[in-house]
Structure 1
Amino acid sequence: METDFIDLLELQLRLREEIEDSFPERLWVRAEIASVQAKANGHCYLDLAQSEGGRIVAKAKAVIWRSRFAPLRAYFREATGGELAAGMEVLLRVQVSYSELYGLSLTVDEIEPRFTLGAAELQRRKTLEKLEADGLLDRQQELEPALLPYRLAVISARDAAGYGDFRRHLEENAYGFAFEVSLFEATMQGEEAPASIVDALERVECAPEPYDAVLLMRGGGSALDLACFDDYGLCFAIANCPVPVYTAIGHDRDVHVADRVAHDAVKTPTALADRFIDALAAEDERISAFGNRLRMAFAARLAGMEQRILALGERIRAADPRGVLARGYTLVTDAGGVVVKSARQLPAGTKFRLLFADGTVEAVAVE
């Protein structure tokens, strides 16, 4: 039985001809970067994807040749402040090509950074809207901060300059306050950051002894570097944390969703250190003022009691018979020492005593 067939190479050549004839011009393609590899030879290789409902519905490989990658990289970095990275939404101008050996490929010759920035802003707005719909935007504000917040759980990278600045500033505080700081390491940038930070939050919540505050910090970065702090999953975890969460992400202009849902947000790690130093200083001042008021109230109470005791002493001294006798009076008692208050108590022949200030005289009553 004879069967018509073609060689694999012929099939691939036909596919190449059809595909390249169908896309003779370069075109703009919107996609998400699934992975990016900048090689030592200067070429950059991208895995592109498109997702719908959390499911990947399309994939393609792309390349930026060395001659275009260097200028495109510089242009993108200048416009966005960051590098091409996994998880970014990008708009690329590509030439579609097909290889008999490697299949479909997209050659990139232009990138529109404004699209990437706009996609990040759109994601930020969607996260805010979803958190608001879920009633989570202000949940952290309902938590009562600790009066003496000295047990601090820090989520950061160990070698981050911001974390070092924070520790140094905290340890060198002018009041000599001692803080207990525990570091929960996490990835603070890129596609892996949200899940890593959520894991650190869970470790804080499971600690044997509760912390007074959770501090989320990094040493600044570009808008795209910090886009992970607009992730819904991360912001959901912050909002639901049972401990007040404070952020010091280090940006100067943009407010990220993590800042919005946190209990409080400051610009830098050193400013966050000041936040807790000032909290302890305010409580120390309050306690000192209370101590001063207590001492003053005690002194006033003691002085009042002293005056009452002195007055009572005066009254006692005034009622003392010896004081009366000293003024020239005498006290009459019978022979048994009972005070005689009336002459009728001393019939004739009755012995009695006369008490003077300087002695006693025995006497007998006569008619």
Structure 2
Amino acid sequence: MSTTDAPRQVYTPTTLNRLVRDLLEDVLPLVWIEGELSNVSRPASGHIYFTVKDAGAQIRGAMFRMKAGQLRFRPVDGMHVLLRGRVGLYEARGEFQLVADHMELAGEGALRREFDALKARLAEEGLFDAARKRPLPPMPRRIGIVTSPSGAAVRDVISVLRRRFALVEIDILPSPVQGREAPPILRSMLQRAAASGRYDVILLTRGGGSLEDLWAFNDESLARAIHASEVPVVSAVGHEVDFTIADFVADLRAATPSAAAELLVPDEADLFRVLDRQRDRLAALLSRRLQHAQQRTDHLATRLQAQRPQARLRRDAERMAALDRRLRLVATQLGGANRHRLARLQARLLARHPGRLLDLQRQRMRALQDRLRQAMQHRLERERTNLRQQARTLQAVSPLATLDRGYAIAFDAKGLVLRRAADVAPGDAVRIRLADGEFPARVDKT
């Protein structure tokens, strides 16, 4: 038979493009690509179109508006990026392209992956456990601040500390907070401060910056030094949205350096207001007692003057003198009793000192935290048990388990499962799926 007599399979451009598109999406469902951006454009639609290239080749790509709106940076020509997406075909032009759903700076992405790996490993070791975090002293006498002495962060911290509680002593422990030399110096300064026994609390702080700028506070040895410190450590690195490994290990993480200063010391204005209220209450109590004694004395004098007859006055002259002596004695005794009561009230006032009340409230709070933590642990354990049981049930009915026993699933060219032999004809292309993968096949006969 000549070639002119052989049956022909004729495709339209649309059909052929769709066939190629389906083939690409089946073979390369999801890929990561690293390269340099060029020809970047962002029209009014909000989509981003670009070319990603290396020294030997280039690929056109697109990122649609919903994903493009989630980017934390603006892509420009020459930027080195890491892309994740699906390889497909732009049917209208028949062009091979990458449809990206994620884009990150190549260098920052590597740092972020290193950060996540260290965070997961230290969390598994228990360095982030809330149970080991120590409470801060309510009124620290001396604070050690490990930071750069020339940064804006230390000025903000000192300003807030002086404004809120001028009695606290502050020591600046100078250390670089950025660059390769920063982690060992930060660790050494922290260890020396903790071992000195001089400080009630240590603050580790610096201002904001990029992930690379803050990288010194993601050092593993620094994290272990914070965990081993006998003195409570507060971490205030960067802005509110910035998180470092030091934040997770520290006994307390503050959103900003200024916020850390507010958490470290009480507000002296509040303390003065409490003392003023207690003094006013004591003064009011003494005034009421003295007024009561004066009213009683006036009442007795009125009753005495009501006995007008002269004869009775003469007869009772001695009695009046006796009453006067008794009145003076009562006044003296009342004064002594009031002084004694005042002393007792002062003792009671001291017993209700704000520091003691705060200790009782902290004890209650720790007890409630322990109960909450235990309840959460019990709940998590029940959920884990339930999840394992559901996973076993799902595995028992999974079609993949059937494939593991030697069965296979056949799909037609449209991706539908073949259930009957009549659904295919000789020459049809099919896909056979086994437990460890799949392969294409063609029907010879049915």
- TM-score w.r.t. structure 1 length? 0.49
More strand by share: 1
Between Structure 1 and Structure 2, whose CA radius of gyration is higher? 1
More helix by share: 2
Higher RCO (C-alpha 8 Å, min separation 6): 1
Q: TM-score under structure 2 normalisation? A: 0.42
